[in-house]
């Protein structure tokens, strides 16, 4: 009896080993860290106050994770708290994970993408109207300065991204368009995954435009004039969560412009179904989706231009 059980155990272990060998294990690639960086980012240490690189930084740009380059904070949310570490009163949506310390006394903040230790978050101190302070180690971040050129980035979701991109790539002042996925919880999503409607992502077009030739307001107007922004849960015959109408803003200025135009549309009697969200991470779609109609020929089946403004 014991012999049979032993043979069965060996057989199961063999099958398990073979299965594990045949599976493709996806390994996340991280940036190499110095011992000093590891002491904070991996071992959850704290750099000495007033010694960090970004304590007094006031330049415009984005703070990204030192370990994985995921965007964490925007410069406009940084403020002077005189605590000795960079302070922010808001994070980029979905970029930061909160975990209560083992002793329950503080709340740790981690990069939501790779789990890197950032620092701690505090509430109720009254520094800013948002009443929240993200106390972040400079060594946990890299600062990416805003390019001082005439370009601006915008993100629009209006159903199938083939049709959305078709109109934007032909618009005056647009330099580059890229289709992809935005707004969901799945990392590195594929088209097949997004099509299930369970990832939370919407098909989105990233638009880079020349601000000397056009404006963000013109981009938003084109967005509304090339799809049915009153339709809920899809666009034309394309029904599903991934096809809903969304504007992802990257700055408060973009948000205010979008809100202004939505108000204009409501005054005209439209029931606007378009959602408005802060821009999270943008995941580029597979190459065969890029500039689809230029490659394949034809025109969009559910994106037609109608002048409104």
* 84 burial type by CB count under 10 A (0-12 exposed, 13-18 middle, 19+ buried): middle
Token pair for residue 61? 């740009």
Contact yes or no for 203/302 (Cβ under 8 A):
no
For the chain, what is the radius of gyration of the CA atoms?
Answer: 24
Q: What span, in angstroms and rounded, lies between the C-alpha atoms of 238 and 160?
A: 7
Kindly report the length of the chain.
309
Pairing of strands 275-278, 245-249: parallel
Question: In Å, what is the CA distance from 3 to each residue of 13, 14, 16, 17?
Answer: 15, 17, 20, 21
Q: What span, in angstroms and rounded, lies between the C-alpha atoms of 110 and 114?
A: 8
Contact yes or no for 300/292 (Cβ under 8 A):
no
Pairing of strands 234-235, 245-249: unpaired
Structural domains of the chain in order of their starting residue, each with its CATH number:
35-145 (2.170.150.20), 151-296 (3.30.1060.10)
Centroid of chain to Cα 277: 10
Token pair for residue 200? 């939370």
Catalytically active residues, by annotation: 135, 160
Q: What is the mean pLDDT of each run of 10 residues along the chain (309 residues)?
A: 49 47 53 96 96 93 95 96 96 95 91 97 95 97 82 95 95 96 95 95 96 94 97 93 96 96 97 96 94 86 91
* 7 burial type by CB count under 10 A (0-12 exposed, 13-18 middle, 19+ buried): exposed
Strand order of the β-sheet with 117-123 is 78-79, 87-88, 132-136, 117-123, 107-111, 96-100
- Which pTM was predicted? 0.55
Contact yes or no for 243/159 (Cβ under 8 A):
yes
Give residue 308's pLDDT: 95
């Amino acid at each position: 009896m014991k012999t049979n059980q032993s043979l069965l155990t060996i057989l199961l272990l063999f099958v398990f080993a073979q299965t594990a060998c045949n599976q493709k294990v996806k390994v996340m690639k991280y940036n190499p860290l110095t011992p000093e960086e590891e002491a904070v980012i991996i071992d959850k240490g704290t750099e000495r106050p007033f010694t960090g690189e970004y304590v007094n930084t006031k330049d415009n740009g984005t703070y990204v994770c030192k370990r994985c380059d995921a965007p964490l904070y925007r410069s406009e949310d940084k403020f002077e708290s005189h605590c000795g570490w960079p302070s922010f009163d808001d994070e980029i949506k979905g970029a930061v994970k909160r975990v209560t310390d083992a002793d329950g006394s503080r709340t740790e903040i981690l990069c939501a993408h790779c789990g890197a230790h950032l620092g701690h978050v505090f509430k109720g101190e009254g520094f800013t109207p948002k009443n929240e302070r993200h106390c972040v180690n400079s060594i946990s971040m890299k600062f990416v300065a805003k390019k001082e050129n005439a370009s601006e980035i915008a993100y629009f979701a209006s159903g199938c991204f083939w049709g959305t991109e078709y109109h934007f790539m032909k618009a005056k002042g647009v330099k580059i368009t890229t289709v992809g996925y935005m707004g969901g919880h799945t990392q590195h999503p594929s088209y097949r995954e997004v099509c299930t409607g369970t990832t939370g992502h919407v098909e989105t077009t990233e638009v880079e435009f020349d601000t000397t030739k056009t404006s963000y307001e013109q981009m938003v107007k084109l967005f509304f004039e090339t799809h049915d922004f009153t339709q809920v849960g899809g666009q034309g015959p394309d029904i599903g969560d991934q096809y809903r109408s969304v504007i992802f803003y990257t700055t408060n200025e973009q948000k205010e412009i979008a809100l202004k135009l939505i108000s204009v549309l409501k005054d005209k009697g439209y029931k606007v179904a378009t959602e408005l969200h802060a821009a999270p991470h943008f995941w580029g779609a597979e190459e065969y989706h890029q500039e689809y109609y230029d490659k394949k020929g034809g025109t969009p089946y559910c994106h037609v231009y109608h002048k409104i403004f």
